[in-house]
Amino acid sequence: MRIRVFSALLCLAALGEARAQQPKFLSDSTLERPTDYEQWVMVGSSTGLSYNPAVNAQPGASPGMFHNVYLQPWAYRQVVETGRFPEGSMFVLAFFESSTNAAPAKGGFYEGDQLASFEVHVKKSGIDPTGWAFFGFDDKGPGEKLPGNAPCYSCHATEAKVDNVFVQFYPALREKLAAKGVYRK
């Protein structure tokens, strides 16, 4: 009986989660703020990633902010199974200060405070010639679509290895999509 109640609760939770993880467009250019994305699949982290040549850092200097990229669990399972990102896939790009303040760490950097702003890359047929759009979120409320001439669109279209997605940076996707034949290492 206890197991049955537990199972029922688990089912309700799974259904609620799958619904909550769908993108909700409030208009053609507005996307509802996704929640709880820290519980999605973190496909890859990076520090100080830049599309401009590196400035020479001082020894011991901060490596720059951490960027974590999250994908909905249902979309992750589907792309790993089929090799295609499903309609409604959302990548969240979240930013964290690099920090070195807490004992017992004496070297290196961990993820400090998260910035309030983040970005979403969402797959939606017809939203843009690339089939994906970028939305910027500030400290609260829904996100605003970045215009199609923003450089992220053309860069992702030409440089990203699989369907506008920077799979080359994501260890949780590289091997699995190579096994599907849609990514070459």
Nearer to its own copies, 44 or 143 (CB): 44
Considering the complex, what minimum distance in angstroms separates the CB of residue 28 from its own copies?
27
Residue 4 burial by Cβ neighbours in a 10 Å radius (0-12, 13-18, 19+): exposed
**Which residue from 29, 30, 78, 168 is in contact with its own copies, where contact means CB under 8 A?**
168
Please tell me whether residue 18 binds its own copies under the rule CB under 8 A: yes
- Alpha-carbon torsion (19, 46, 110, 112), positive or negative: negative
Interface with its own copies by CB under 8 A: which range of 25-33, 49-57, 125-133, 137-145?
A: 49-57
Q: Is 34 in the site for its own copies (CB under 8 A)?
A: no
Return the residue matching tokens 């979309």: 75
The secondary structure element, H or E, covering residue 91 is: strand 90-99
In terms of Cβ atoms closer than 10 Å to its own Cβ (0-12, 13-18, 19+), residue 153 is: buried
Q: Is 157 in the site for its own copies (CB under 8 A)?
A: no
Q: Residue 132: which residues within 8 A CB-CB, separation 6 or more?
A: 121, 122, 123, 124, 153, 156, 163, 164
State whether residue 6 is helix, strand or coil: helix
CB of 118 to its own copies, least distance (A): 13
| Interface pattern 59-98 for its own copies (x via CB under 8 A) | xx--xx-x-x----x--xx------------------x-x
Q: Can residue 153 be called a binding residue for its own copies (CB under 8 A)?
A: no
Amino acid at 62: S
Query: Under rule CB under 8 A, how many of the chain's residues touch its own copies?
Result: 57
Nearest to 108, CA basis, from 96, 97, 116, 98 = 98
Structural tokens at position 182: 């849609």
When asked if residue 151 is in the footprint of its own copies (CB under 8 A), the reply is: no
Nearer to its own copies, 127 or 160 (CB): 160
The residues of the shown chain that bind its own copies, judged by CB under 8 A, are 7, 10-11, 13-15, 18, 38-39, 41-42, 44-60, 63-64, 66, 68, 73, 76-77, 96, 98, 102-114, 155, 159, 168-172
